[in-house]
Chain A
Amino acid sequence: MIAPVLYLIVFGWGLGSGINVGGSSYINFVIPGIIALTTMTLSFSTVANDINIARTYTRTFEEFMVAPVSMLVYAAGKITAGALRGLYSALIIVLLAIVFQAGLRLDLYFIMITILNCFVFSALGLTAGLIIDSHGDMAKFSNFVITPMSFLCGTFFPLDKMPVGLKEIIWVLPLTQTSLALRSQGESVFQTLLHPTILIIYLLIFIITGVRLCKKAE
């Protein structure tokens, strides 16, 4: 939880003071972005590292694999646990935002999108934890996939500052959908429905891949 608090301080109060994005202060813009990236990082790393360590280091993964538990149940358990961890971090940021009196519009849509984001990246963590066979490779995956997403997916600055071509690619990424949805004020009904739909598609893909991998992973 240190990183998101630092982001809040550096980008929110430090660099961000005096900057306006879309008519309101930068801190109001950046908080949904920080919630999106923090829930992503925590949900992902909780599950991915836990499974990776259980498979390669403590070998406790085997105890779960030989147990009479179906792989769907195992996957569901791991994903839910990771998602709850992510939600817990979201809660802390929301509390911080309230303490520092940043403008944050908390409605049902906002909460649902946050929960969905937690589940999507928790499921990605499951898949990554099962595919990746070493700590080193797991760190690489985080460095080359998770970290770039956390900075570029509309979290710290609006997507339309990105060059054409790259912008479209980034738009498709799940975290971009979350960032857009968390700031969805003024969007059409179609757009507000499009974000969760894309997230659900990602979630299903990750869960199905994860459960399949579970059957074979060692």
Chain B
Amino acid sequence: MLVFDSVTKKYGTVTAVDNLNLEIPKGEFFGLLGPNGAGKTTTVRMLSTLTAPTSGSILVDGRQVDRNLTEIKAKIGVVPQHMNLETEMTAWQNLELHGCLYGLQKDIRQKRIDELLEFTNLSDRANEMVKNFSGGMKRKLMIARALMHEPEILLMDEPTVGLDAAVRRKMWDLMKGLNKNGLTVVLTTHYIEEAEILCSRVGLMHGGKLVELDAPQKLIQKTGAFVLEYFENGGTRSRFFNTRQEAIESAAGMEGSVNIRPANLEDTFIKLTKRKVEG
């Protein structure tokens, strides 16, 4: 169980996260969505103790997270947004270092490293320097590293940025499988379809505030299940309707081409964050 209790983070005069209250039960696949600068990364960083909140508290299993509270930290696995592997070490050495930092016994380390390299298809590159790896391989290695110590909570800050479609899908399967085995996953992402496919619940952040919190399907229904798109004054406008019939009726009186389709989370996201002018 993960609890954010009135958490605020300020950087000088900028409020990155503004009075966040959120509970994430065990075993949930939770997605944090939001435009750039919404405070997603700051939220994840606070949870992993990389940044201390300005006020409020973050509890994991009833205990407030702190950099010196090693038992709680051992339960969390972190996949950061940017690459932070030791590039001058091999894949194997990176995992070995992580295992040592988390106090795993030598035989367990050996076993886990073999398993995870197998799991991420990196076995044959185990003894190669990380600096020679492609972006996708580095990402996979970072995920393998985060899973090394068998965490109960996995924090992933945009884990699929810069990956090609095939690798991304593979990553999704990997995450789904982990979650099925009881791992709590907290994911931040720009790819809204990713959240729609993976997450059982999403939180929508905007300007440091949590503006919506629900299952993806429910959020879509909230704004309207169908979208009517049309082009006007140099921009694409969209209107939301609860049924296809309503959308068709509305489109009947319009000039030019229109497009009616089922709404997805991305439409909802854009409507809720008001990045697009509403029709």
- A interface residues, Cβ below 8 angstroms from B: 58-60, 62-71, 214-216, 218
Known contacts A58-B86, A218-B50; 16 further A-B pairs (Cβ under 8 A): A58-B84, A59-B83, A60-B85, A62-B80, A62-B84, A63-B101, A65-B50, A65-B67, A67-B73, A67-B102, A71-B67, A215-B52, A215-B67, A215-B68, A216-B52, A218-B51
Name the residue among A59, A60, A63, A216 with the largest chain B CB count within 10 angstroms: A63
Residues of chain A contacted by B103 (CB below 8 angstroms): 68
Contact A66 B50 (CB under 8 A): yes
Contact A71 B68 (CB under 8 A): yes
Residues of chain B contacted by A68 (CB below 8 angstroms): 70-71, 73-74, 101-103
Q: Which of B189-213 contact A (CB under 8 A)?
A: none
Q: Which of B50-98 contact A (CB under 8 A)?
A: 50-52, 67-68, 70-71, 73-74, 76, 78, 80, 82-87, 97-98
Cα distance, A99 to B202, chains bound together (Å):
71
Other-chain contact of B98, A58, A63, A70 (Cβ < 8 Å)? A63
Residues of chain B contacted by A58 (CB below 8 angstroms): 84, 86-87
Contact A66 B82 (CB under 8 A): no
Contact A63 B68 (CB under 8 A): no
The secondary-structure label for the interface of chain A is helix
Residues of chain A contacted by B73 (CB below 8 angstroms): 66-68
Task: Tell whether B264 is near chain A: CB-to-CB under 8 Å.
Answer: no
Task: Tell whether B120 is near chain A: CB-to-CB under 8 Å.
Answer: no
Task: Tell whether B221 is near chain A: CB-to-CB under 8 Å.
Answer: no
- In the complex, per-residue mask of B39-56: 1 if CB is within 8 Å of any chain A CB, else 0: 000000000111110000
6 A-B pairs (CB sep. < 8 Å): A58-B86, A60-B84, A65-B67, A67-B101, A68-B102, A215-B67
5 nearest CB pairs, A to B: A68-B70, A59-B84, A67-B101, A68-B74, A68-B73
Cα distance, A60 to B50, chains bound together (Å):
12
Q: On chain B, which size bracket covers the interface?
A: 20 to 34
Cα distance, A218 to B52, chains bound together (Å):
9
Residues of chain B contacted by A60 (CB below 8 angstroms): 84-86
Cα distance, A66 to B103, chains bound together (Å):
13
Cα distance, A216 to B68, chains bound together (Å):
11
Minimum distance in angstroms from B139 CB to a CB of chain A: 14
Cα distance, A58 to B101, chains bound together (Å):
18
Cα distance, A60 to B51, chains bound together (Å):
15
Closest to B142 in A: A63
Residues of chain B contacted by A69 (CB below 8 angstroms): 70, 101
With contact pairs A68-B73, A68-B102 given, residues A63 and B84 touching in the complex (Cβ less than 8 Å): yes
Residues of chain B contacted by A70 (CB below 8 angstroms): 68, 70
Residues of chain A contacted by B74 (CB below 8 angstroms): 68
Minimum distance in angstroms from A85 CB to a CB of chain B: 17
Contact B68 A62 (CB under 8 A): no
Minimum distance in angstroms from A214 CB to a CB of chain B: 7
Closest to B75 in A: A68
Minimum distance in angstroms from B183 CB to a CB of chain A: 17
Cα distance, A44 to B161, chains bound together (Å):
38
- In the complex, per-residue mask of B89-127: 1 if CB is within 8 Å of any chain A CB, else 0: 000000001100111000000000000000000000000
Cα distance, A58 to B84, chains bound together (Å):
6
